[in-house]
Amino acid sequence: MNRPVVGIIGNSYMMNDRFPVHAGGTINSSAVAEVARCLPLVIPTDPRFVSVAELLEVCDGFMLTGGRPNVHPEEYGEEPTEAHGAFDRARDAITLPLIRACIDRGQPFIGICRGFQEVNVALGGTLHPEIRELPGRTNHRMPPDATLEEQFALRHAVTFREGGVFHRLLGTTRVMTNTLHGQGLKRIAAGVDVEGFADDGTPEALVVRGAPGFTLSVQWHPEWNAANDPVSRPLFEAFGAAVAAWAGRGRIRRSA
């Protein structure tokens, strides 16, 4: 039987500073293929090439990846500033309606870093452009000149709501995670339940309240070392099970 398909949201880059590409990190594909046990499919996230309706039919679930460009503040009613950094409006045009459609359909997705922020924006929330400038917050950005292993090292704790979805899935209310982000959630969308916080109060884990499908999303990068990390592995295994269940229902519908 064919593996369920997970659409991995691709990011736009300039290769050699001149050639535009859509790309997805190998660690994303590894987490999807080796832990979630699904077929990874990198999406050219641009409405010139794909539509939300097509993606919903081709893919069984979605990985909303991290990426250097940020959600454009116009998507949550604010003016862009230098602090907001670079943008990818084409990705905004696909991912935000895709998130809302997945929630309505019960189609599973996992949000990571920028993807975590996209879920909040898609449902009406807002973002801080630079959380390290907020009183009492620490610097959640990666050390820029470090090795990959140092950048993705476990650097702070996240505490989950007791009895929540993350607590039940992971069997603990406190874990260590990596941290590689500058922006963070500001106004929490009405449909979002934040279940995990860093010690400085930064939101780190969420679910969509009342959603019929898998919507677990995190501010850190669980795709790094996903097969061996005790937090990442159960997260991706649960995501894979949700995607497989959705795919199974689709096969039943198509054969009926």
Domain ranges, ordered by start, for the chain: 5-255
Which residues lie below 8 Å from residue 248, measured CB to CB, with a gap of 6+?
A: none
| Structure tokens belonging to residue 178 | 């990596």
11-25, 56-70, 83-97, 230-244: lowest mean pLDDT where?
Answer: 11-25
| Active-site position among 130, 195, 204, 223 | 223
Pairing of strands 174-177, 61-64: unpaired
Give the residue among 43, 108, 57, 103 at the shortest CA–CA distance from 244.
Answer: 108
Q: Tens of pLDDT along 5-37?
A: 999 999 887 888 889 888 899 999 999 999 999
Would you place residue 55 in the very low, low, confident or very high pLDDT band (cuts 50, 70, 90)?
very high
Would you place residue 121 in the very low, low, confident or very high pLDDT band (cuts 50, 70, 90)?
very high
Give the residue among 193, 195, 136 at the shortest CA–CA distance from 162.
Answer: 195
Across the chain, mean pLDDT equals: 93
Pairing of strands 192-198, 203-208: antiparallel
Pairing of strands 39-43, 127-128: unpaired
pLDDT for residue 252 = 55
Would you place residue 255 in the very low, low, confident or very high pLDDT band (cuts 50, 70, 90)?
very low
Q: Tens of pLDDT along 94-108?
A: 999 999 999 999 999
Per residue in 38-49, is it b (16+ CB within 10 Å) or e — as a string? bbbbbbebbeee
| Structure tokens belonging to residue 161 | 């709501």
DSSP conformation letters of 27-47: HHHHIIIIIS--EEEEE---T
| Active-site position among 38, 102, 113, 204 | 113
pTM confidence score:
0.94
Higher pLDDT, 50 or 254: 50
3-state helix vs strand vs coil in the chain, percent to 5: 35, 25, 45
Q: Could you tell me which residues are beta bridge partners of residue 198?
A: 158
Would you place residue 175 in the very low, low, confident or very high pLDDT band (cuts 50, 70, 90)?
very high
- Residue corresponding to tokens 């005790």: 230
- Residue corresponding to tokens 């996992």: 110
pLDDT for residue 87 = 86
Is 118 known to be catalytic? no
Is 113 known to be catalytic? yes
**Count H helices, E strands: the chain?**
7, 13
Element (H, E) at 85: none
Is 221 known to be catalytic? yes
The percentage of the chain sitting over the pLDDT mark of 70, rounded to a whole number, equals 97
**CATH, domain range 5-255:** 3.40.50.880
pLDDT for residue 256 = 41
pLDDT at 80 over 90: no
Burial (CB count within 10 angstroms: exposed 0-12, middle 13-18, buried 19+), residue 227: exposed
